[in-house]
Copies of this chain bind each other. A is one copy, B any other.
Amino acid sequence: MTNLKLVGLEKKERTVISVGNVRFGEGFVIIAGPCSVESEEQMVETALAVKKAGADMLRGGAFKPRTSPYAFQGLGLEGLKILAKAREATGLPFATEVLDTRDVSWVAEFADMIQIGARNMQNFSLLKEVGKLQKPVLLKRGMYSTLEEWMNCAEYIMNEGNPNVVLCERGIRSFETYTRNTLDISAVPAAKELSHLPVITDPTHGTGKVSLIEPMSLASAAAGSDGIIIEVHRNPAEALSDKDQALTPAQFSVLVRKVRALAKFMEGMK
């Protein structure tokens, strides 16, 4: 793998990236929240629930990349304002996705961390734009992307001057249809031998199945992941998007307890 001047391991020590009080690359970070911000009540209620369950950070989509133009596209600016209120209510920072180069600078005013989604991993204009900020970036691996391509996308961001990149494996597309995607757990240790950046996983999108989220979260922690990002909805059946893969706050609470225990155990085994 060539020309990973900034991402590669010449830097020797692993990078730690701070988002508020959250430190990616130290301990195990749990990000949680709904797929989409739907209303203030839904977002704040969910945020309080995930905080209580032990989440470190919030997630929620204001701009949603949907297969069909007729599906719910997100609340936009209104969604960002609601996310800010959820932050205020919980004290937890939040990550949110940006889809358009024109939105990067003002979305960054609201968000604590900018997410580049899987479909935009090779949207090089967007990568360059977030590279001009110092705001931390959560860079998801494209569902069709090799490790080499993914690492080069981090290189794009860093080459513009932003060193604050956290990698996120979210499942690749394979022939299997039982799961929504195939969560490539081996990408965690592989990305860590190719780069000095923190790496987390997304068991929600990686499996698309509530029953598989807990075992894959545990597998991620055991494989050396620096964290997970999980979709939680106060009432999954009513969710405007991804209703089949959102955990309830109660399910999430059990997950957090187990994953924290495992992460602590793994830390002790180093």
Contact = CB atoms under 8 A, between A and B. Distances in A.
Interface of A: 2-3, 5, 65-70, 99-102, 119-120, 122-126, 142-144, 146-149, 152, 155-156, 159, 172-179, 182-186, 188-190, 193, 206-207, 209, 211-212, 215-216, 218-224, 258, 261-262, 265-266, 269
A264 to B, nearest CB: 10
Nearest to A264: B265
Given A67-B152, A123-B126, 12 more contacts: A2-B68, A65-B124, A69-B155, A99-B123, A101-B102, A146-B178, A147-B176, A174-B182, A182-B186, A185-B185, A215-B222, A215-B223
Contacts of A175: 144, 146, 172-175
A173 B122 CA distance: 15
Contacts of A174: 172, 174-175, 182, 184
Nearest to A99: B125
Contacts of A184: 174, 176, 182
Contacts of A124: 65-66, 69, 99, 119
Contact of A183 (B144, B186, B215, B224): B186
20 contacts: A67-B122, A69-B155, A100-B101, A100-B125, A102-B125, A120-B122, A144-B144, A144-B173, A146-B176, A147-B176, A172-B175, A172-B176, A175-B175, A183-B186, A185-B185, A186-B206, A189-B212, A193-B211, A219-B220, A222-B223
A205 to B, nearest CB: 12
A119 B220 CA distance: 28
Contacts of A102: 101-102, 125
Nearest to A193: B211
B152 A68 contact: yes
A224 B189 CA distance: 19
B178 A148 contact: yes
Nearest to A125: B100
Contacts of A212: 186, 189-190
Contacts of A68: 2-3, 152, 155
A100 B126 CA distance: 8
A207 B182 contact: no
A82 to B, nearest CB: 21
A181 to B, nearest CB: 9
B215 A65 contact: no
A185 B123 contact: no
Given A119-B122, A215-B224, A186 B159 contact: no
Nearest to A216: B186
A175 B262 CA distance: 31
